[in-house]
Structure 1
């Protein structure tokens, strides 16, 4: 296995230092994922940029977390599931929604469930969707722009989930209370 350095602002390559500084100012610490991504200035910049773009989507914080946590679960990313469980709680997302996303079970709200199902379909079908699936998503009250924004969120999680798999990113203390394992997931 290749070991990755969990960089600080002092050890990171020059092109990553400013991004790590900004992350630390925003969160009060540098999450290990970002510290590992700092190995590649292009990777850490891409991740930070796509995160900022996804936040500009029309999705509410709850809807954003539905997309992100669904991808984390499907991709078996223990780091991101713990991190986003913590972030979701900090954003005031209902505890039952967080637990449902961690378990991969059906959400009570029909529109949010349509989003969760669509996020599953985009991930598991690698974007090769049937017209009926797209029409069901649109009928739930989402738009064609929403479809593209789900793809952005899926892409965002692909970067972090795959990085965590390759680097075996250690879980930060801030996320320990929400540790998750892939065997907790019950459904696609």
Structure 2
């Protein structure tokens, strides 16, 4: 999602040496690197329209062309896409391509927000506490009553990332 429309073709599909100013060597793109495996597209809802078009074409045809190359390459990659964006709404508002949504929408997993999963707050907090103990070479043991109450009553608008940051 953070790729600019200028950088996306090279990042996804790679480039050959001399393809553009500064391309002093060839570079393999994400599709090549993920060959035979899985390509995870994080925050796909933030992709620029030009990048969505390019990605759609590759997915439909199962082929891509590295920037500056003369021939296409086929690929065998499973694509997993994630976003916090409501893509149906983005399609309605013409910010996301409906045809790309259909291509990416074979199987959907909806992860509920942390505020709707109170039973997960303390196990996650304990997990992140242990990580912090290792990283900071500390030996903090558990959470007192006040800390537990604070953790369990917070709305967690930032979900698990916010919880990780607070611990």
More helix per residue: 1 or 2?
Answer: 1
TM-score (structure 1 length as normaliser) = 0.24
More strand per residue: 1 or 2?
Answer: 2
TM-score (structure 2 length as normaliser) = 0.26
